[in-house]
Structure 1
């Protein structure tokens, strides 16, 4: 068997395997299996506030929310206009970033004061409000840290590694946020109405009761 025929047979086998894999995916889809495309959210619009204009965290979170069918709007007014309503719809929430920070700290050094290990950290503190400004989810923190070795001779490569760690932690935080947002129920979007305080009727004192007789 010459080399040309062996190459042709190899390509044919790969093509056959690829076709079979596509057929298997199609069959699985027919059985109800489908790839996850996002989360089912109880709200329809969301405003992201508190982030700096170039926040990569806000950008990734916005993309993930839009992939889940949620419209990211610039303001509560925009949400009202989008819903063609006269008041803020209950399907609108506000995600407020109280702290969006990524940094690094030196973990260990050598006896000569050279950096040996560093810790990359991503921190997000946030709270979630209903469209009317009432608190839906109180302030909470999501923080991740990853260790990395450091070598001054490979400083440029270590910068790339640090950026990759921050990006990976950011994606992890966004996924955790999506799960928390997906856990919000439709009834939680409605502002709870405080029950009226019953008026207290004081019974007459003993002298007053005697005088009434």
Structure 2
């Protein structure tokens, strides 16, 4: 057996051992919350909203996402879907040193008949981002990644709230 084959075998045995230890202690990866309804419609989101797209993707794993609110059991209404960037710190030469990124979603959920299931709720997620003009392209990429992470966080929070709804 060559040394590379031994390393691969050792890595496989180590991974299996770690998996067995974690399973034995009751560790389990977080599962998406179980939804008690079979269809939902998303309305009020901006066209091509990245947040709405991810929310649709996550919801489609468990329920049917309808385009027509009248055909859905629950209607999730986006009242506000905003991505913001503000300058938090700058130098005396007016160069930006730190920004704050914010993702805000205000929403409510009701039945097509108008019965309120979730009262108006607002989710706000913020992250700080250092900035340097010499690394502008890298910072732009970092900003996009932070927005994706914040978006996933908001989608998870919305799903957990929807899991508490009984139609």
Q: Deviations over 1:61-85 (max 9, x none)?
A: 1111122x11111113444xxxxxx
Count of aligned pairs = 167
TM-score by length of 1: 0.69
Higher strand share: 2
Q: Distance in 2 between matches of 1:160 and 1:95?
A: 31
Q: For 1:184-199, what aligned pairs fall within 5 Å after superposition?
A: 184=165, 186=166, 189=167
Q: Does 1:58 align with 2:52?
A: yes
Residue pairs, 1:1-213, within 5 angstroms: 8-15=2-9, 17-18=11-12, 21=15, 35-67=29-61, 69-79=62-72, 92-184=73-165, 186=166, 189=167
Q: Normalising by structure 2, what TM-score?
A: 0.86
Query: Aligned-pair RMSD on alpha carbons?
Result: 2.7
Gap runs ≥5 in structure 2:
none
| Distance of 2:94 and 2:156 partners within structure 1 | 38
- State the 4+ residue runs in structure 1 displaced beyond 6 angstroms: 26-29
Shift of 1:14: 2.0
Higher Rg of the two aligned structures: 1
Unpaired stretches in structure 1, ≥5 consecutive residues: 80-91, 190-213
